[in-house]
Structure 1
Amino acid sequence: MIQIFNKSLPFSGKTAIISNGKSYSYAALHQASANFAQLLLEETDDLAEGRVAFMVNPGFDYVRVQWGIWQAGGIVVPLCLSYPLPSLRYTIENSGASVIVVSPEFEETLKDLADELACRLVVLGKNDQAKTLKALPEIDDARGAMILYTSGTTNLPKGVVSTHANLNAQISSLIEAWKWSSDDSTVCVLPLHHVHGVVNVVSCSLWAGASCEFMPNFSEKAIFDLIESQRINVFMAVPTIYFKLITYWEALPKVEQNAATNSLAKLRLMISGSAALPVSVMERWKNISTHLLLERYGMTEIGMALSNPYDGPRVAGHVGYPLPGVSVRLSDEGEIQVKGATVFKEYWNKPESTAESFTADGWFMTGDIATIDELGGYRILGRNSVDIIKSGGYKISALEIEEVLRQYPGIADCSVVGLPNDEWGELVAAAIVTKNQIDDKALHAWMREQMPAYKTPRKYVILADLPRNAMGKVTKKDVVHLIQ
């Protein structure tokens, strides 16, 4: 039996999911997912790791489809709801999906592609009722469970294959580290084609017997209303969301600010991830909420690897220590390398890329550069290609410069990149989003007072906003194109 399904069986009478104003018990989820598995098995006794792509709105339907695919022996391939057709085509074709499942509003988007690729198209609420009942297959933990696609910062996205054993290790590690229990309740405001939303929020809460509410359309007011009603006690988000919540709170009348702060203080846990958390945002949020956000580090290929402690000191700008069951080391160049049951199986149909991503002794090379502090905690300096700028013989952390820039009055956000330069190798440049007019010369003079000259940007470009991916992470290759 699928482990997450098995773990949730004792909580059949509890609320598992709240979506679209309705509450669904674990018993309802168990039955609905088993029914969906039966539908998928109409033409076979076992999907046998066949890929099922699904474009389903966040909520009860998303989870019943995901669990149903697993129970039928298939591999889930979540599709991003905001992707254009060429990107959806790439994911479906590359994964070799034979079945596509959609919410009704996405039928028109994908029906012609499904016909072209000879994929079975299942439309929820239209043709999703099983006609026969079969015994569900036994699912071994070594089977493939999920393919999530990387953001493709270097070339075309790669499909990351995680087995059931990988997912079980990732979830159980976080259950232990973050003290999840059946008394918890959370809300998912994150896209469900990334590990942050799929594993950290939804899978962890349901494994623990907690309840998970879905908010497909993010709203600052709705988040604060949810917190003030005390319907949740665990909240996870990306730095961009915390920045939006800070801005919203600061615009509230004083009385409402106090009420919001009192409600926030009652939450058990607040976590930030998927992108570097600016220290300034962390400090402002602590003043508002009383919570020092728990920052952690992970990626699609490994789930979560490092986390600041649940109990004990959390250091701003640091991502903490190895999680239970995860081994972490730094290479001679400072690259984070990870080993353990949480590490993915392979890149889909890319044996060479898979082999190139591991050291000779079996450690996955993350491509992220870090240092270790005197307490043994990790501090991310950036990607070895994107956030590490090589200029004039120096290796410069773009994240460090960004932290300083955000302290300058009038700067709302920024992104520091390296621009190709014959003399310096790379020239440090900054894209900035401003609250009001800024004098470049004054900014540059101030930066020279804050850090060594070789680290200060040689070029400043003002943008209306920074380009971001679906998780709110700044896409630095796009920043480079915008400011060159």
Structure 2
Amino acid sequence: MLQLIANAKNNPKKVAIVDQGKEYTYQDLSNSSNAVASMLLGDKSDLNESPVAFMVSPGFDYVATQWGIWRAGGIAVPLCITYPLPSLQYVIEDTQASIIVVGEEYQNILNEYQKDPKFKFFNVSDSKQFSRSFTLPEISKDRPAMILYTSGTTSLPKGVLTTHANIESQISTLVKAWEWSSDDYILEILPLHHVHGIINVLCCALWSGATVEFLNQFSAKEVFKIFLKGKLNVFMAVPTIYFKLISEWEKLSEEEQKELHQAMSNFRLMISGSAALPVSVMEKWKEISGHYLLERYGMTEIGMAVSNPYHGERRAGHIGQPLPGVLLRTVDEEGQPVNAGDPGEIQIKGPSVFKEYWGKPEATAKSFTEDGWFKTGDIAVLEDNYYRILGRDSIDIIKSGGYKISALEIEEVLRKHTEIKDCGVVGIPDEEWGELVVAALVADKEFDTKELNSWIRERMPSYKTPRKYIFIPDLPRNVMGKVTKNELKKLF
């Protein structure tokens, strides 16, 4: 049995999950994931690495579904619950998933797949009527486990395939580095189609026998209410969330601020990641919570690779040192290692590194050096034994609110609008979001961009929607006709 799932047997009566006020034990999770596996298998003995797409709200049913897919021998493909249909279709079609599991509230969104005989379509609530008396398949660690989608430098997202061995390495590395234990209690507020929410929060907690409380709809007020209950001792979020929490804290009375400060001072660990944390936010959070946030670095393809120390100095603006078991080097454009103090691309080796880009052997090959180092595309410099990220090697990747967003993908959608002749999308610095997605539009006449945003959100996830627009006669270009995006940024 996979280690993550086997660990649940260590303390079956312990509360694993708190979902909408209801408590579920590790035994409940084991039983329900067994039922999901039985439902998916039917009369089969093994799903034999079939991709299973699932659209289930964060909470107990999500975890039972994820574990059930793994226990049945499938590859888990989590779908984002806020994506519009075209984005969901892209993932389902790219993975060629023929099995789909949904929560009740998402059944209508994927209704066309339910009607298509080529798909096996399940509602997770139906698993409650399943039981299985015979043994589930034995899953080896080298088998594929999960496909998560990330936007690279091209306009279309790529599916990142990790094995069970990759996932176990990612989890066990963090459990050791951040000293997880069964006494921990964490709040899950991060999206569960990203490595941050799935691995760093959910899987690390459950591997350790800790408790995970879910808050499906983010609200700074609700987060503070949960803080005041005194159960939490670990918290992880992206910089945008810390910015919103600080804004909410500033509205409180002095007495309420003191009460919250006392509650937060009892936490053992608070972490920020998925985007660069502004030093001003880190310092303000230290003032209101008593905690100097632990900043770390990772990506979908590698899990977490670098971290500020759990014990010792946490340096603002720096991501820290490589985690145990992670090999890291920084190289120049010719692939030669650079000296400390000189900028270079981060390259990673180790058991946490993903297997391949799903169905894209050429993209996979291009992402690795001949001697097996994964090329992250992130430029960093080593300063007094701490790494500091300088930025991407491609200006077409925008980091906003914890997401990596492809400007090219947004441009392709914008160009389909009847009023837009051409466009250029860039990211501009923003304290709350890290970078703000903005767009320059070339059109015969200016028009209402609020209506444009509504149009975009029918075709793309809302976090990719530009926050600012300008209308210009033409885009700045070089002699080769390519848009010069650094010049475009200056217009904002």
TM-score, shorter chain, exceeding 0.5: yes
Q: How does 1:385-424 map to 2 (within 5 A)?
A: 385-386=394-395
Q: How does 1:88-167 map to 2 (within 5 A)?
A: 88-116=88-116, 118-126=118-126, 129-130=129-130, 133-152=133-152, 154-167=154-167
The offset of 1:432, in angstroms, is 6.2
Give me the whole-angstrom Cα distance separating, in 1, the residues matched to 2:55 and 2:265: 36
Structure 1: which 5+ residue stretches go unaligned? Answer: 389-397, 403-414, 418-425, 435-462
The offset of 1:383, in angstroms, is 0.7
Give me the whole-angstrom Cα distance separating, in 1, the residues matched to 2:36 and 2:345: 43
1:378: which partner in 2? 387
Q: What is the count of residue pairs matched by the alignment?
A: 422
The letter for the 2-side match of 1:91 is V
1:328: which partner in 2? 328
Query: Contact between 1:102 and 1:124, CA under 8 Å: does it hold in 2?
Result: yes
The offset of 1:387, in angstroms, is 8.3
Query: Contact between 1:111 and 1:121, CA under 8 Å: does it hold in 2?
Result: no
1:367: which partner in 2? 377
1:46 lines up with 2:46 in the alignment: yes
- Report the aligned-residue RMSD: 3.1
3-state SS in 2 of match to 1:125: helix
Query: Contact between 2:298 and 2:306, CA under 8 Å: does it hold in 1?
Result: yes
2:194: which partner in 1? 194
3-state SS in 1 of match to 2:298: strand
The offset of 1:289, in angstroms, is 0.7
Query: Contact between 1:381 and 1:387, CA under 8 Å: does it hold in 2?
Result: no
If the length of structure 1 is used for normalisation, what is the TM-score? 0.81
The offset of 1:258, in angstroms, is 1.0
Counterparts in 2 of 1:470 and 1:429: CA distance versus 1, 3 Å = closer
If the length of structure 2 is used for normalisation, what is the TM-score? 0.80
Per-residue CA distance 1:407-459 (angstroms, 9 max, x = gap): xxxxxxxx9x9xxxxxxxx9x9956699xxxxxxxxxxxxxxxxxxxxxxxxx
Give me the whole-angstrom Cα distance separating, in 1, the residues matched to 2:300 and 2:377: 13
The offset of 1:325, in angstroms, is 1.1
Give me the whole-angstrom Cα distance separating, in 2, the residues matched to 1:289 and 1:44: 52
The letter for the 1-side match of 2:163 is T
1:409: which partner in 2? none
1:82: which partner in 2? 82
Give me the whole-angstrom Cα distance separating, in 2, the residues matched to 1:363 and 1:475: 35
Counterparts in 2 of 1:352 and 1:432: CA distance versus 1, 3 Å = closer
Q: How does 1:60-459 map to 2 (within 5 A)?
A: 60-116=60-116, 118-126=118-126, 129-130=129-130, 133-152=133-152, 154-333=154-333, 334-374=344-384, 376-386=385-395, 430=428
Give me the whole-angstrom Cα distance separating, in 2, the residues matched to 1:330 and 1:474: 33
3-state SS in 2 of match to 1:251: coil
Query: Contact between 1:160 and 1:301, CA under 8 Å: does it hold in 2?
Result: yes
Per-residue CA distance 1:121-148 (angstroms, 9 max, x = gap): 1012246632654320010000000000
Query: Contact between 1:301 and 1:343, CA under 8 Å: does it hold in 2?
Result: yes
The letter for the 1-side match of 2:29 is L
The offset of 1:386, in angstroms, is 2.3
Give me the whole-angstrom Cα distance separating, in 1, the residues matched to 2:298 and 2:430: 27
Counterparts in 2 of 1:260 and 1:132: CA distance versus 1, 3 Å = closer
Counterparts in 2 of 1:4 and 1:127: CA distance versus 1, 3 Å = closer
1:411: which partner in 2? none
The letter for the 2-side match of 1:269 is L
Counterparts in 2 of 1:253 and 1:52: CA distance versus 1, 3 Å = same
The offset of 1:38, in angstroms, is 1.0
Q: How does 1:12-23 map to 2 (within 5 A)?
A: 12-23=12-23
Counterparts in 2 of 1:55 and 1:429: CA distance versus 1, 3 Å = closer
- Greater alpha carbon shift after TM alignment, 53-62 vs 144-153: 144-153
Give me the whole-angstrom Cα distance separating, in 1, the residues matched to 2:117 and 2:376: 34
Counterparts in 2 of 1:431 and 1:314: CA distance versus 1, 3 Å = closer
Query: Contact between 1:89 and 1:113, CA under 8 Å: does it hold in 2?
Result: no
Counterparts in 2 of 1:170 and 1:472: CA distance versus 1, 3 Å = farther
Counterparts in 2 of 1:268 and 1:257: CA distance versus 1, 3 Å = same
Percentage of matched positions with identical amino acids = 54
Give me the whole-angstrom Cα distance separating, in 1, the residues matched to 2:326 and 2:207: 19
Give me the whole-angstrom Cα distance separating, in 2, the residues matched to 1:95 and 1:43: 23
Give me the whole-angstrom Cα distance separating, in 1, the residues matched to 2:277 and 2:192: 21
The letter for the 1-side match of 2:212 is C
3-state SS in 2 of match to 1:108: coil
The letter for the 2-side match of 1:209 is G
Give me the whole-angstrom Cα distance separating, in 1, the residues matched to 2:285 and 2:466: 24
Give me the whole-angstrom Cα distance separating, in 1, the residues matched to 2:252 and 2:118: 54
3-state SS in 1 of match to 2:109: helix
Give me the whole-angstrom Cα distance separating, in 1, the residues matched to 2:291 and 2:148: 31
The letter for the 2-side match of 1:212 is V
- Greater alpha carbon shift after TM alignment, 115-124 vs 74-83: 115-124
3-state SS in 2 of match to 1:181: coil
Structure showing greater relative contact order (alpha-carbon pairs closer than 8 Å, 6 or more residues apart): 2
Query: Contact between 2:35 and 2:127, CA under 8 Å: does it hold in 1?
Result: no
Give me the whole-angstrom Cα distance separating, in 2, the residues matched to 1:268 and 1:58: 25
The letter for the 2-side match of 1:335 is E
Query: Contact between 1:274 and 1:471, CA under 8 Å: does it hold in 2?
Result: no
3-state SS in 2 of match to 1:242: helix
